[in-house]
């Protein structure tokens, strides 16, 4: 009996030792894990971008001349109309003064001839007034009456059809049909009268217009006779004015004004430098900025015009500024497979400057209070998906239901609870002893 007891104890000890040995030899140490927490998923587009002025203008010269004055330097803010550059304009000023003197001389000659043609001008003016009065004989009210008559006739005919139908079906007496026929005849007669009045009105107007045109022709012949001497003087004035205009336009070329409110981005010239036509002088960027990004065309479904997001300058990674998509390019770059997207800051700020590199996040949607886990923590067999959760030192298989995927993560709708610890599944099996490591 004592020996039998000893044997049983030995068997128990051997079994316990075997179980302990099995657990330690198959135990996986330092298994990575994550603790389930509910979170909000922000589905967004992330891209690198560059800050650019909304408008960039290269100012160039149209003349060959020496620079006399540069009023602003690179980095200065300017307003529309500010004089940026002045060229040496001595020769241009002399040409302008000469043209102005010639114009004044021809105008004096013109004034001497104007008094001789005032009477013929008055005659033309009177004839023109008579012509305008003749043309202004108005037939609009008569046309409106005709249109109204046509409408009433159409309505009366519709009513006649209706009554004929009712009569054919024994619903009304024949007298009702006859009355409506009579009304249609009366309306049509009235319309004919109106049309005859319109014809007479047009005839009267045409006659008066014809008479006025004849009077105007006679007045113009008289005016042309008196105007021969005047035309010579007038042509001289026009020629002198054209010369002055050309001199003025040429003089304006010696001053470069800012076409917009903005900032001078680059300055390519110095005072006293001799400039050739077409040479770039300054580059100005508008004060209004935009951010240009070039995401992959596959991400186009994540964005649309009007979407909001945030931009962080690489120089100030902890600063965020709200932006809005204002434009999406109409075509994809065929070489890179990207598409240009333009965003504008919602509010002005002094941090963003042209050519600054930035990181952009455009928010597409936010899904609240979900369980989100890495895709590589999931295993699959027989069309079921599962994970391993940590349960008192054991890797326990737990089947889950996946709702949707986002990049390298998935949304779990069933199977997991907040606080669960799921294990990285490499080398694990259901019921396997584990020791968790770092989260």
pLDDT in tens, 385-400: 999 999 999 999 999 9
CATH of the domain at 263: 2.40.50.100
In a domain, 64, yes or no: yes
CB-CB contact of 306 with 296 (8 Å): no
Question: Please, which contacts does 251-254 make with residues 24 or more away whose CB atoms are closer than 8 Å?
Answer: 251/89, 251/92, 251/93, 251/95, 251/96, 253/61, 253/62, 253/63, 253/87, 253/92, 254/63, 254/65, 254/86, 254/87, 254/88, 254/89, 254/92
Position 407 pLDDT exceeds 80: no
Position 426 pLDDT exceeds 60: yes
Specify whether 127 is located in the same domain as 223: yes
Confidence band for 131, pLDDT divided at 50, 70 and 90: confident
Confidence band for 4, pLDDT divided at 50, 70 and 90: low
Specify whether 201 is located in the same domain as 240: yes
In a domain, 181, yes or no: yes
CB-CB contact of 251 with 97 (8 Å): no
Q: What percent of the chain has pLDDT over 90?
A: 49
Gyration radius (Cα) of the chain, Å: 46
pLDDT of residue 71: 96
Specify whether 180 is located in the same domain as 278: no
pLDDT of residue 314: 94
And the tokens for 315? 């120089």
CB-CB contact of 356 with 315 (8 Å): yes
80-106 mean pLDDT: 94
In a domain, 334, yes or no: no
CATH of the domain at 426: 2.40.420.20
For residue 52, give every residue at least 6 positions away whose Cβ sits within 8 Å of its Cβ, in sequence order, or none. Answer: 285, 289, 290, 291, 292, 354, 355
225-245 mean pLDDT: 89
As a whole number of angstroms, the distance between CA 134 and CA 249 comes to 45
pLDDT of residue 18: 43
Query: Which contiguous run of DSSP H or E holds residue 115?
Result: none
pLDDT of residue 195: 84
Confidence band for 28, pLDDT divided at 50, 70 and 90: confident
pLDDT of residue 293: 96
Specify whether 152 is located in the same domain as 276: no
Confidence band for 130, pLDDT divided at 50, 70 and 90: confident
Q: Which of 40-49, 288-297, 393-402, 418-427 has the lowest mean pLDDT?
A: 40-49
Specify whether 137 is located in the same domain as 264: no
pLDDT of residue 15: 44
Looking at per-residue confidence, does 2 or 432 come out higher?
432
Position 336 pLDDT exceeds 50: yes
In a domain, 1, yes or no: no
Structural domain span for residue 278: 56-88+254-285
> Tens digits of per-residue pLDDT, 149-195?
889 888 988 988 998 989 888 888 888 889 889 988 988 888 898 88
Q: What percent of the chain has pLDDT over 70?
A: 93
**How many domains in the chain?**
3
Confidence band for 5, pLDDT divided at 50, 70 and 90: low
In a domain, 361, yes or no: no
Mean residue pLDDT of the chain comes to: 87
In a domain, 23, yes or no: no
Specify whether 100 is located in the same domain as 225: yes
Specify whether 281 is located in the same domain as 239: no
């Amino acid at each position: 009996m004592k020996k039998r007891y000893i044997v049983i104890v030995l068997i128990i000890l051997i079994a316990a030792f075997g179980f302990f040995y099995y657990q330690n030899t198959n135990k996986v140490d330092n298994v990575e894990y994550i603790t389930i927490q509910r979170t909000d998923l922000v589905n967004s587009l992330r891209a690198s971008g560059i800050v650019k002025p909304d408008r960039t203008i290269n100012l160039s010269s149209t003349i060959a001349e020496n620079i006399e004055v540069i009023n602003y330097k690179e980095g200065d803010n300017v307003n529309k109309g500010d004089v940026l550059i002045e060229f040496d304009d001595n020769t241009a000023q002399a040409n302008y003064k000469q043209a102005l003197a010639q114009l004044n001389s021809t105008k004096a000659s013109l004034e001497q001839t104007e008094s001789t043609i005032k009477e013929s001008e008055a005659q033309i003016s009177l004839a023109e007034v008579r012509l305008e009065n003749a043309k202004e004989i108005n037939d609009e009210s008569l046309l409106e009456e005709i249109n109204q008559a046509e409408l009433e006739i159409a309505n009366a005919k519709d009513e006649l059809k209706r009554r004929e139908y009712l009569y054919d079906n024994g619903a009304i007496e024949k007298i009702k049909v006859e009355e409506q026929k009579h009304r249609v005849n009366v309306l049509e007669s009235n319309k004919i009268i109106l049309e005859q009045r319109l014809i007479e009105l047009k005839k009267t107007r045409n006659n008066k217009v014809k008479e006025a045109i004849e009077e105007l022709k006679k007045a113009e012949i008289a005016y042309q006779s008196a105007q021969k001497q005047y035309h010579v003087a007038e042509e001289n004035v026009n020629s002198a004015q054209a010369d002055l205009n050309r001199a003025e336009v040429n003089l304006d070329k010696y001053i470069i004004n800012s076409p917009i409110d903005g900032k001078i981005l680059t300055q390519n010239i110095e005072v006293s430098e001799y400039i050739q036509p077409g040479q770039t002088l300054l580059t100005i960027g508008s004060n209004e900025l935009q951010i240009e990004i070039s995401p992959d065309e596959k991400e186009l479904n994540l964005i649309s015009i009007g979407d909001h997001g945030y931009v962080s300058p690489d120089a100030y990674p902890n600063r965020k500024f709200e932006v809005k998509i204002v434009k999406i390019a109409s075509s994809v770059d065929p070489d890179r497979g990207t598409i240009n997207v333009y965003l504008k800051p919602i509010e002005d700020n002094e941090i963003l400057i042209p050519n600054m590199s930035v990181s952009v996040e455009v928010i597409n949607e936010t899904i609240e209070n979900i369980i989100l886990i890495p895709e590589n923590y999931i295993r699959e067999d027989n069309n079921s998906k599962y994970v391993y959760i940590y349960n008192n030192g054991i890797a326990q298989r737990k089947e889950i239901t996946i709702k949707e995927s986002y990049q390298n993560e998935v949304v779990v709708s069933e199977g997991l609870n907040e606080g669960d610890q799921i294990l990285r599944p490499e080398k694990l099996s259901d019921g396997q002893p584990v020791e968790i490591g770092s989260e």
